Amino acid sequence: MNVNATHCIYGNDSDLLLLALITHLPNIIVLRETFPPMTNKVISESMDRREELQKMEIIYINILREYLTYEFENYLPEIFDIE
């Protein structure tokens, strides 16, 4: 496996973020659909989303890993190890 390759994971399952974090590969991107908050107006309208453009969010796992490292090293320095 080429460690320097970039991998993209598509899906809306929140567990994908944790699974991507534990792979320890440096270049993983998670691509997810964003959903508007559910309101009575949205529920009453047609739920056919093919006509509208779906908004997507990109999560760079290496940046998420850096944020988590920074946060946990500051608050739990004696017991935290990113690995």
- In DSSP notation, 14-39 reads THHHHHHHHT--S-EEEEEE--PPP-
* H or E element that contains 7: strand 7-10
Note whether residue 15 is domain-resident: yes
Assess if residue 45 is contained within a domain: no
Q: How far are the Cα atoms of 14, 15, 42, 57 from residue 49, in angstroms, in the given order? A: 22, 24, 11, 17
64 within a domain of the structure (yes/no):
yes
pLDDT tens digits, 25-55:
889 999 988 876 655 555 545 555 555 667 8
Residues 14-20 have a mean pLDDT of: 87
Tokens, residue 21: 């974090």
> How many domains does the chain contain in total?
1
41 inside domain: no
Domain that holds residue 3: 1-35+53-83
Q: Is residue 58 part of a domain?
A: yes
pTM of the model: 0.68
Helix orientation angle between 15-22 and 61-75, rounded to the nearest 10 degrees: 80
* Residue 44 domain-assigned (yes or no): no
Residue 4 lies in a domain: yes
